[in-house]
Amino acid sequence: MISKNIEVWGKSHKGKKRQQNEDRFLIRELPKLLILAVADGVGGNVFGEKAAEIVIDTFREYEFSPDNLEKDMRAALETADKRIHHEVKKNAGLHGMSATATICVLYRHRVFWIHVGDSRMYLLHDKKITQITRDHTFIQDLIDDGSLTPDQAEKHPLKNMLDQCVGCDEIEPDNGVFNIEKHDRLLLCSDGLTTHLSDSQIESILQRDPIQEAGRRLLCTALQMGGKDNVTVIVSEFFSAADL
């Protein structure tokens, strides 16, 4: 429980196949603000965890203002991107170091978000989930232009290839703002969850249990279904539109 107005639960697991956990997450409470973030080191690179840590550390340290949240979130993400590139310039052996980033800031009854990569944010409203973020993958582009169906994409050998990430040559993050209502829930997760669970499975678990149990069930189900990747889950429930 963060306050009387919002409850949050988060956990990360290395999964059953990976030797280390390259996922990182953040739950940061500030006066009137709550920051939630998931970053996933890209591609199994040995330095993926370092890139994810840079993203999370940047959002942990950044001074956010309720009056400039959209601008601040973009500036923080740009700062993380520059820090990763700086580390690579210092050490050529870090070439390819990068991470996904899915971040939201809750302020009163609004959710401000920014996103790069294939980690995701979902909103559960009236027991129905909506995927807020769009995966920045080569395959998603083919789905969007009608070249592939979602079923075909699931079997495509390049389905996990990113076309954007923090630390890539160029990034154009997606961002937005939406209102949140009493008893709405948010889910932020790495692709270690969505590789194994469909949206309908996520919806079923997320709507049924208290958020701590829902979060644990989501994570454990991904592990039971193979746990091929690191798995990170943050679940929150909103109880009031008053200040956090």
**Full pLDDT tens readout for the chain, 244 residues:** 566 789 999 999 999 988 889 999 999 999 889 999 999 998 656 689 999 999 999 999 999 999 999 999 999 999 999 999 999 999 888 888 999 999 999 998 999 999 999 999 999 999 999 999 999 987 666 666 666 666 665 655 556 678 899 999 889 999 999 999 999 999 999 999 999 999 999 999 999 989 999 999 999 999 999 999 999 999 999 987 555 5
What whole-number distance in Å separates Cα of residue 106 and Cα of residue 178? Answer: 10
Number of domain units in the chain: 1
pTM: 0.92
Identify the domain containing residue 21 by its residue range: 6-238
**Residue type present at position 79:** T
Residues in Cβ contact with 141 at an 8 Å cutoff, skipping those fewer than 6 apart: 163
The answer to whether residue 135 is domain-embedded is yes
Q: Does residue 131 fall inside a structural domain?
A: yes
Whether 61 is covered by a domain: the verdict is: yes
Helix pair angle (211-224, 199-208), 10° resolution: 150
Residue 140 lies in a domain: yes
Task: Give a yes or no: residue 226 inside a domain.
Answer: yes
In angstroms, rounded to a whole number, what is the distance separating the alpha carbons of residues 17 and 226? 8
46: left (phi over 0), alpha (psi -120 to 50) or beta: alpha
Please give the structure tokens belonging to residue 216: 């644990």
CATH code of the domain covering residue 199: 3.60.40.10
Phi, psi of 89 (to 5 degrees): -65, -35
In a domain, residue 244? The reply is no
- What the block records as the tokens of 105 is 């800031």
- Determine, yes or no, domain membership for 95: yes
CB 48 within 8 A of CB 22: yes
Task: Write the single-letter amino acid at 26.
Answer: L
Element (H, E) at 213: helix 211-224
Q: Which two tokens mark 2?
A: 């963060």
Residue with tokens 């500036």: 75
The secondary element (H helix, E strand) that includes residue 124 is strand 120-125
Q: Is residue 1 part of a domain?
A: no
